[in-house]
């Protein structure tokens, strides 16, 4: 099922990008994830030939039933099973929620490093444009202004929670190195906190838990004061930015993806969603496992000015984005 809101979003993305994707061949990794699944949905809608890759073929079959989408089961740590040539490869696969960081830090690092290298080898063979989804977490803490692409950041390598940002940083260097040594057209997207209806039901991120409670009509429970400021970005805007970078990005360049109109504390984000769902916001203490997986960043505000100067623009502020998230998810559940 596809809702009217989704169709409207897809049409607006197409107007912004002004590009004909018909028969362009895409490989999307992490196709069951928040961003990867929206990419697959939109590109299929836009007429592209989409190869959706994930570790679980059963989840892929459950999520996608479009005959224009080819489903591929693949552990990216293992040699790739495909030798097809692609116009574009978008690497969106990664452990991307706190429970995975705390319970499997080694697996998190392996997927980010070995998986990226395997895909870069495929891009080298097929002469594909390659887009790597990194994270604003690579900037760490040691800064007193909005993060720009030139900031190096500081991450504490002595704690296992750094498995995610440190392996993302290393994978970025892999992308740059493959570009420098083999001439592959690589780009890196550093994303802020992306949200949307495509978030998976088993995601342990705080905002995913907020949404689950809101959809059930239960009070939203915060496990901290939620005072950290974040740049948020609705998934439709994140996808339009990713494809904009793929089409217009300068070879080997890095781009932040964020919405300057969606800066809020975690508590403010939760309150907006609570208001939409007509529920209350409550505060409780986290347990030890939850606390271990939390991001160590204080404030994390990314500047997207570099991308905006190239004439990309976000279309949905945090109020509209959360309204769409709640309404689409509710419609799909009730369908």
Q: In which residue ranges of the chain is pLDDT below 70?
A: 96, 142-143, 286-298
Q: Are 66 and 47 contacting, i.e. CB atoms less than 8 angstroms apart?
A: no
pTM metric for this prediction: 0.94
Give 143-185 pLDDT, tens digit per residue.
678 999 999 878 888 999 999 999 999 999 999 999 999 999 9
Q: So what's the pLDDT on residue 75?
A: 94
Q: So what's the pLDDT on residue 248?
A: 98
User: What's the gap between Cα 295 and its chain centre?
Assistant: 16
Q: So what's the pLDDT on residue 287?
A: 60
Q: At what angle do helices 318-334 and 266-277 cross, to 10 degrees?
A: 50
Give 243-286 pLDDT, tens digit per residue.
999 999 999 999 999 999 999 999 999 999 999 999 999 988 76
Rounded to 10 degrees, the C-alpha dihedral 172/154/203/313 comes to -60
Cα–Cα distance list, 130 to 61, 80, 123, 133 (Å): 25, 16, 7, 10
What's the CA gap between 324 and 185, in Å, rounded? Answer: 34
What's the CA gap between 64 and 19, in Å, rounded? Answer: 24
Q: Which own/partner pairs from 103-110 qualify as long-range (CB within 8 Å, at least 24 positions apart)?
A: 103/289, 105/160, 105/161, 105/163, 106/163, 108/163, 108/164, 108/167, 109/163, 109/166, 109/167, 110/77
Question: All domains of the chain, ordered by start, with CATH?
Answer: 4-196+233-260+302-316 (3.40.50.720)
Q: So what's the pLDDT on residue 293?
A: 47
Sign of CA dihedral 146, 135, 250, 24: negative
- Short-list 270, 256, 282, 293, CA closest to 138: 256
């Amino acid at each position: 099922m596809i809702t009217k809101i989704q169709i409207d979003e897809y049409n607006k993305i197409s107007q912004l990008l002004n590009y004909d994707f018909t028969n362009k061949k895409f490989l999307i990794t992490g196709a069951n994830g928040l961003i990867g699944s929206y990419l697959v949905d939109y590109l299929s809608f836009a007429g592209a030939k989409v190869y959706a890759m994930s570790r679980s073929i059963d989840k892929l079959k459950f999520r996608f039933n479009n005959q224009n989408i080819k489903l591929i089961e693949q552990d990216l740590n293992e040699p790739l099973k495909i030798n097809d040539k692609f116009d574009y490869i978008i690497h969106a696969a990664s452990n991307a929620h706190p429970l995975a960081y705390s319970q499997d830090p080694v697996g998190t690092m392996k997927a980010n490093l070995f998986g990226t290298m395997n895909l870069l080898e495929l891009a080298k063979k097929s002469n594909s444009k390659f887009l790597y989804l990194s994270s604003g977490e690579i900037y760490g803490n040691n800064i007193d202004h909005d993060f720009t692409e030139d900031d190096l950041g500081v991450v504490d390598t002595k704690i296992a929670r750094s498995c995610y940002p440190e392996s993302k940083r290393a994978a970025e260097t892999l992308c740059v190195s493959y570009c420098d040594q083999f001439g592959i057209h690589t780009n890196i997207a550093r994303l802020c906190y992306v949200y949307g209806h495509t978030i998976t039901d088993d995601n342990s991120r705080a905002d995913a838990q907020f949404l689950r409670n809101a959809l059930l009509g239960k009070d939203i429970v915060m496990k901290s004061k939620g005072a950290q400021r974040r740049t948020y970005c609705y998934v439709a805007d994140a996808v339009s930015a990713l494809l904009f970078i793929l089409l217009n990005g300068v070879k080997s360049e890095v781009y932040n993806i964020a919405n300057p109109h969606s800066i809020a504390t975690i508590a403010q984000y939760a309150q907006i969603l609570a208001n939409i769902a007509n529920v209350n916001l409550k505060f409780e203490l986290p347990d030890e496992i939850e606390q271990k997986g939390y991001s160590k960043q204080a404030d994390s505000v990314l500047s997207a000015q570099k991308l905006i100067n190239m004439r990309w623009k976000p279309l949905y502020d945090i109020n509209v984005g959360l309204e769409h998230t709640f309404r689409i998810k509710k419609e799909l559940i009730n369908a």
